[in-house]
């Protein structure tokens, strides 16, 4: 239970979030729960004396209660926000929570479909025009490791004689990607029926039934539908196809730099998350290939 001398300022902060910051009711309730839990055992007469040691003690108590790093980071963030308010109200000179580091959170590994699951997902019978379009979209995304935004922004001119794809990625950077044989055939099949969806002079490669450029939401919805239709046990979304592409290429080639280029990552560190999925294989390649890693005979 928060000390009666401290409670009024917490109430003022919650009112500030509601009336001045216009936060949603659920967000305010979340802040209230976090702060009530954080300050429940706090022994202070005034917020003026609240310091970084108190913040660390709150986090330590949270650890003892079994809170995971993500929950502790959320609690610390809530405390920082409250302390910023106290500074604004001249109750504190500086934020005591700003010098406390959030607990390290393990970076989640990318989730992907295995090769068999990818074959199962993409083994679509072209029974109608939507199936032809959807197969072309998914084959192209998996073949080239496209981001969802890159897929929906493709134009007819993005195809370089159907053997290569010119993609504009983040930062307006272009990259030229090879198109696999199966994806090339799927796109070719789509181009034969695309005129049924296309308005005159329409530049978009993939279109909706309304004859407009297909939206990101529509792509995600269609992939979710096909995952159910093809009896894929795990959920499927556009980014999972990109993850699957990166993982499968890396497992086969061990070429991290090559995968970086194909994905359009500006920083190799972004690509390196995929190495965790096949680290032992990469370590073996490194040991056999690097001149300073080879054992002396």
DSSP string computed for 181-194: HHHHHHHHHHHHHG
* pLDDT beyond 70 at 283: no
Q: Is 274 a catalytic residue?
A: yes
pLDDT value at position 275? Answer: 56
Catalytic residue among 222, 242, 243, 248: 242
Per-residue pLDDT band for 204 (boundaries 50, 70, 90) equals very high
The pLDDT mean for the chain works out to 83
pLDDT tens-digit map of 147-186: 888 899 999 999 977 688 888 877 777 888 888 889 899 9
Q: Which one has a higher pLDDT value, 87 or 1?
A: 87
Told to judge if 243 belongs to the known catalytic residues of this protein, a careful annotator would answer: no
Of the chain, the percentage scoring pLDDT greater than 70 comes to: 81
pLDDT band at 296 (very low <50, low <70, confident <90, very high): very low
d(CA 276, CA 258): 17
Question: Which of 133, 147, 240, 243 is an active site residue?
Answer: 147
Identify which of 39, 54, 38, 59 has the alpha carbon closest to the alpha carbon of residue 101: 59
What pLDDT sits at residue 289? 59
User: Span 7-21, mean pLDDT?
Assistant: 93
Is 170 annotated as catalytic?
yes
> What pLDDT score was predicted for residue 23?
87
Candidate list 170, 181, 184, 290, residue with the active-site label = 170
Is 160 strand, coil or helix?
A: strand
Give the residue, 263 or 181, on which the prediction is more confident: 181
Instruction: Please provide the DSSP assignment of 89-150 as one string.
Output: TTS-SS-TTTTSPPPP-PPPPPP---HHHHHHHH-----SHHHHHHHHHHHHHHHHT--HHH
The pLDDT confidence band at residue 297, using thresholds 50, 70 and 90, is very low
At 178, is the secondary structure helix, strand, or coil? Answer: strand
Give residue 5's pLDDT.
80
- Annotation marks residue 242 as catalytic: yes
- Once rounded to an integer, what is the mean pLDDT over residues 264-284? 58
Section 89-115 average pLDDT? 81
**Residue in 77, 41, 81 with CA at minimum distance from that of residue 58:** 41
């Amino acid at each position: 239970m928060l000390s009666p001398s401290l409670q009024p300022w917490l109430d003022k902060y919650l009112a500030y979030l509601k009336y001045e910051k216009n936060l949603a009711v659920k967000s305010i309730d979340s802040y209230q729960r976090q702060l009530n839990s954080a300050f429940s055992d706090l022994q202070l007469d005034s917020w003026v004396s609240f310091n970084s040691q108190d913040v660390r003690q709150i986090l330590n108590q949270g650890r003892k209660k079994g809170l995971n790093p993500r929950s502790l980071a959320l609690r610390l963030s809530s405390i920082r926000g409250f302390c910023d308010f106290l500074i604004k109200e001249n109750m504190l000179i500086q934020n005591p929570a700003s010098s406390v580091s959030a607990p390290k959170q393990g970076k989640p590994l990318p989730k992907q479909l295995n090769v068999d699951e990818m074959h199962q997902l993409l083994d679509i019978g072209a029974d109608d025009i939507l199936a032809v379009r959807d197969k072309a979209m998914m084959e192209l995304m998996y073949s080239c490791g496209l981001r969802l935004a890159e897929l929906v922004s493709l134009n007819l001119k993005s195809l370089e004689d159907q053997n290569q794809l010119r993609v504009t990625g983040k930062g307006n950077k272009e990259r030229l990607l090879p198109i696999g044989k199966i994806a090339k055939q799927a796109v070719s099949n789509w181009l034969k029926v695309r005129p049924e969806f296309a308005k005159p002079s329409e530049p978009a490669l993939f279109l909706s039934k309304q004859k407009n450029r297909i939206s990101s939401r529509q792509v995600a919805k269609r992939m979710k539908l096909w995952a159910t239709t093809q009896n894929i046990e795990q959920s499927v979304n556009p980014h999972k196809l990109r993850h699957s592409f990166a993982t499968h290429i890396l497992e086969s080639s061990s070429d991290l730099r090559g995968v970086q280029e194909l994905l359009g990552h500006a920083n190799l560190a972004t690509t390196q998350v995929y190495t965790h999925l096949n680290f032992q294989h990469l370590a073996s390649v490194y040991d056999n290939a690097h001149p300073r890693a080879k054992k002396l005979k």
